[in-house]
Amino acid sequence: MSAARTALATLAVAALALAAFAGVTRGFAAVTSDGVRRADIEQAPRALPDLALVDGAGRGLQLSDYAAPNAPITFVTLQYLRCQTVCLTSASGQSWLQSEIRARGLAGQMRLLTLSFDPANDTPAVLAAHARRLDADPALWRFATVADPAQLARMLSLFGVVVLPDGLGGYAHNAALFVIDGQGRLAQAYDVDRPDLALATQLRTP
Amino acid sequence: MTPGTRRTLIACAPALAIAALAPAHPWLEHTMARHMGLELPALFLLGCALPRCSGAARSPRFAAWNTHGLPGLLAALCTTGFWMLPAALDQAVLHGGMALAKVASLVAAGAWAAASWPRAGTVLQAFFVLNGFWMMLAAGLLYQEAPLQLCAVYLADQQPAAGRALVLWAVAGLAAWLAHLALVSRVFAQDDDDTSAAAATP
């Protein structure tokens, strides 16, 4: 009797543990939050909401403008421009994508967007200066931040980016190279050092 | 103090200590090393004290469901392993519900482990101790070597310290178990049955 009950209890524990591990790792697909976000976005692409942005030229735009029907694919990163660590990798990835898009004649099909989560420092003038330094083609690569800092949390939660002050005046944050697909949905996330993978996947998609 | 009051106080002591940890949790969770190396083990160890302090350790109530302590030790192993996942640790910092689940499950894991340990034989104990601390050691080494930021809420430069804390706990745990084997189970003092049988044969 007690052997059967113990077997039952052991099976119940094993089943619960399996469910808990599978839940938090999205079916054993990821152990880090970035990996979990990647799996979540791929499984359920996210619609782009109306979120007021302002770009390097001081023009207003909506994030949902990038969801227009038959719009080009957009590679997006979230950064703050004073960042000296992972944002440099994000920026060099996007630079590489810009040169590839030009070289392959894909300008009508793909474009780039850099979103800053530091609107207090990254004003339109700072965004424009940064774009010039990176030799960004304004027709291909836009730099923008939230028009209303109160909307920052909405933007971060849409992309699943966690930003924490690092105690040295900067921020600690996770990063990814996001893809807004041809249907205007936030559809994929790649590691920031794999723009090649992001581009190859888009080229393979019919 | 009457013996009754004393018993009540002892029974409540682990719960009071857990409650005392609550105001310290922002400090404890501020770095990855404190979170994994101090808070999580403290919750587990306070849970371990729970059955003995409350007198539930001798209760036969769930004995039929926990022969040799197998489900209890398995639950403790799975729970501690779960909270070593970076994604789970993030959730515990970012979501109140997961934070509560973390505290409850780790205290429960400690209580299950302590209540089930005496029921398990040396072989079963060895299985869980070696698996548990080996997993912790491997996780600690991986955390120190990981080239990427593992958690959304902790910087990559905090990972080596958290990894070292895990390695330290794993080594301490294995050393404590060896001491337990030598001093309590006295396995090193016993002759192997086969060799003593062979020696008895003329």
pLDDT at A145 over 60: yes
| Percentage of chain B lying above the pLDDT 90 cut | 60
Other beta carbons within 10 angstroms of residue A37's beta carbon come to 22
**Partner-chain residue, chosen from B66, B70, B150, that has the shortest CB–CB distance to A32:** B150
**In contact, A192 and A93? CB cutoff 8 Å:** yes
Domain ranges of chain A: 2-31, 46-204
Q: What is the pLDDT of residue B52?
A: 81
Average pLDDT for B130-151: 93
Closest-CA residue of chain A to B77: A17
Tell me the ipTM for this assembly: 0.82
Among B residues 94-113, those touching chain A with beta carbons less than 8 Å apart: 94
Q: How do residues B174-194 score in pLDDT, each as one tens digit?
A: 999 999 998 887 877 766 555
Residue carrying structure tokens 């119940």: A12
Q: What is the pLDDT of residue B111?
A: 93
Element (H, E) at A125: helix A124-133
Does the pTM surpass 0.90? The reply is no
Q: Give the residue among A109, A101, A114, A110 at the shortest CA–CA distance from A159.
A: A114
**Partner-chain residue, chosen from A9, A14, A166, that has the shortest CB–CB distance to B66:** A9
Q: Give the residue among A186, A129, A141 at the shortest CA–CA distance from A161.
A: A186
Higher pLDDT, A158 or A2: A158
Domain ranges of chain B: 10-190
Cross-chain Cβ contact A35/B87 below 8 Å: yes
Cross-chain Cβ contact A17/B90 below 8 Å: no
Q: With contacts defined as CB-CB under 8 Å, which chain A residues touch B65?
A: 2, 5-6, 8-9
Chain A contact for B121 (CB, 8 A cutoff): no
**Partner-chain residue, chosen from A10, A16, A162, that has the shortest CB–CB distance to B153:** A162
Among B residues 141-160, those touching chain A with beta carbons less than 8 Å apart: 148-153, 155
Q: What is the pLDDT of residue B194?
A: 53
Q: How do residues B53-82 score in pLDDT, each as one tens digit?
A: 877 766 777 788 888 999 999 999 999 999
Task: Say how far apart CA B14 and CA B20 lie, in whole Å.
Answer: 10
Question: pLDDT class for B169, splitting at 50, 70, 90?
Answer: very high
Q: What is the pLDDT of residue B192?
A: 58
Q: What is the pLDDT of residue A2?
A: 82
Considering only the top CATH level, what class is A46-204?
Answer: alpha beta
Q: Give the residue among A188, A168, A165 at the shortest CA–CA distance from A176.
A: A188
Minimum mean pLDDT among A9-13, A18-22, A32-36: which range?
A: A32-36
Query: What is the average pLDDT score of chain A?
Result: 91
Average pLDDT for A87-112: 92
Task: Say how far apart CA B42 and CA A11 lie, in whole Å.
Answer: 28
Other beta carbons within 10 angstroms of residue A65's beta carbon come to 13
Higher pLDDT, A1 or A134: A134
User: Is residue B193 exposed (0-12), middle (13-18) or buried (19+ Cβ within 10 Å)?
Assistant: exposed
Q: Give the residue among B40, B16, B52, B60 at the shortest CA–CA distance from B136.
A: B40
pLDDT at B5 over 90: no
Task: Say how far apart CA B172 and CA B170 lie, in whole Å.
Answer: 5
Q: What is the pLDDT of residue B109?
A: 96
pLDDT at A124 over 60: yes
Q: With contacts defined as CB-CB under 8 Å, which chain B residues touch A16?
A: 75, 78
Average pLDDT for A57-80: 92
Q: What is the pLDDT of residue B190?
A: 65
Residue carrying structure tokens 């969770």: B29
| Percentage of chain A lying above the pLDDT 70 cut | 100
C-alpha pair distances (Å), A39 with each of A34, A36, A94, A190, B31? 9, 5, 22, 10, 27
Q: With contacts defined as CB-CB under 8 Å, which chain B residues touch A162?
A: 90, 94, 152-153
pLDDT at B32 over 60: yes
